[in-house]
Amino acid sequence: MNTTIKRVTRKDVAERANVSPTIVSYVINNNRYVDSEKRKRVEKALKELGYKPNAIARALKGKQSNHILFIVDDLQSEHFSKIMKQMDSWAFENNYFISLCESRNSDSFVNQVHQRYFDAILIASGTFKQKYIQALINTQIPIVILEMRKYDKLSGDFGLINTGLYEGARLCCKTLIEKQRDKLLFIDSFESMSFTKSTKNDFRYKGFIDELKMHNYVESINYKIISSCKNEKELQLKLEEVINSGFKVNGVFGRTDSVAIHTMYKLIDMGYRIPKDCSIIGVNNARISRYTTPQVTTLDINREAIGKSIIKILEQLFHKEENPTLNISLQTSLIKRKSL
């Protein structure tokens, strides 16, 4: 897909309102008298076209917005706030402001993002569709993507940071197998309107499945997937269904620490002894994982390295350096705790 987004100009507004661009400027700046009927037409055209006068005024003067947008899956995630924390000093010292925004798969969302004239866009979303990411890349705004899944349809110039999730997921699965766990569950994140279940291109899911296949684990005999749960209650019900069907789960890999912890406590309520009867591993090294009973083993994502990598790519793109480093690969680490 090669979607392009047309930037709305004052000329576009003038044509829609059937007035001159000068009249549009008068209305936007509110510094000259404009006939009430013409003003109404201009204001209607501004609204219909999604024109953002403040951002455009800055752009027309050749100034930066000094504003970076960070598109994520979940605004409540501790993971993204920690990455923001790593970038905070750099942003302050360089007069940049970074805003978090939850991804939305719609043309209107992408158009709104583009119309606001951000200096750069960071994307860390497993659910933001590639066609919308491509549309933003096509605008030639500097883009940096945290690779949470395989992006096989993107083209153009953009930064890509592989955070090591695929290899990390394989390590988690391998660790469970080495613990002689042969009845495994993959627990997906809770769904929301913007979040859909893991797909075959999702690195956590793909790493888990690929490692199972290497050890000749067979679906329905050795592992099951629990997904499409909107909340904790739905997860508990599906977990009960799986266990009541005769699947004697003895290993759990949660897409996040949150779902891993919810699963662990439900198993404890059902009489499981953790880790004697079942080993639990989550992802993200969330603060709460250190304070559960037992403490949860987790895959730690190197947020400090992610923050530094984002800064490195942005500085090269902002300064228009020749042959910038646009692809960076990082590693995760497994923090073993008592749930293993």
Q: How confident is the model at residue 1 (pLDDT cuts 50, 70, 90)?
A: very low
The fraction of the chain above a pLDDT of 90, given in percent, is: 59
The fraction of the chain above a pLDDT of 70, given in percent, is: 91
Q: So what's the pLDDT on residue 114?
A: 78
User: pTM of the prediction?
Assistant: 0.79
- Which tens digit of pLDDT belongs to each residue from 58-95? 444 445 778 999 999 888 888 888 898 889 889 989 88
- Which tens digit of pLDDT belongs to each residue from 22-71? 898 888 766 677 888 998 999 899 888 877 655 444 444 445 778 999 99
Taking each helix axis as running N to C, give the angle between helix 36-49 and helix 10-17, from 0 to 180 degrees, rounded to the nearest 10: 120
Phi, psi of 3 (to 5 degrees): -70, 135
More confident: 256 or 10: 256
More confident: 53 or 328: 328
- Which tens digit of pLDDT belongs to each residue from 188-240? 988 754 444 557 789 999 999 999 999 999 998 999 999 989 899 999 999 99
Residue 173 contacts residue 207 (beta carbons within 8 Å): yes
Q: So what's the pLDDT on residue 107?
A: 85
- Where in the sequence of the chain do the CATH 1.10.260.40 domains occur? 10-60
- Which tens digit of pLDDT belongs to each residue from 266-290? 999 999 999 999 999 999 999 999 9
Instruction: Write out the CATH class of domain 67-163+302-330.
Output: alpha beta
Residue 253 contacts residue 186 (beta carbons within 8 Å): yes
3-state secondary structure labels for all residues of the chain: CCCCCCCCCHHHHHHHHCCCHHHHHHHHHCCCCCCHHHHHHHHHHHHHHCCCHHHHHHHHCCCCCCEEEEEECCCCCHHHHHHHHHHHHHHHHCCCEEEEEECCCCHHHHHHHHHCCCCEEEEECCCCCHHHHHHHHHCCCCEEEEECECCCCCCCCCEEEECCHHHHHHHHHHHHHHCCCCCEEEECCCCCCCCCCCCCCEHHHHHHHHHHHHCCCCECCCEEEECCCCCHHHHHHHHHHHHHCCCCCCEEEECCHHHHHHHHHHHHHCCCCCCCCCEEEEECCCHHHHCCCCCCEEEECCHHHHHHHHHHHHHHHHCCCCCCCCEEECCCEEECCCCC
- Which tens digit of pLDDT belongs to each residue from 129-168? 999 999 899 888 899 999 999 888 898 889 999 999 999 9
Q: How many of the other CB atoms lie within 10 Å of CB of 207?
A: 23
CA-to-CA distance for 201 and 216, rounded, in angstroms? 21
Q: So what's the pLDDT on residue 63?
A: 54
CATH superfamily of domain region 10-60 = lambda repressor-like DNA-binding domains (1.10.260.40)
CA-to-CA distance for 273 and 276, rounded, in angstroms? 5
Minimal CA–CA distance to 300: which of 114, 79, 1, 143? 79
- Which tens digit of pLDDT belongs to each residue from 97-114? 999 999 999 888 888 887
CATH superfamily of domain region 166-300 = Response regulator (3.40.50.2300)
- Where in the sequence of the chain do the CATH 3.40.50.2300 domains occur? 67-163+302-330, 166-300
Minimal CA–CA distance to 128: which of 199, 71, 86, 179? 71
Q: So what's the pLDDT on residue 258?
A: 93
Q: How many of the other CB atoms lie within 10 Å of CB of 318?
A: 15
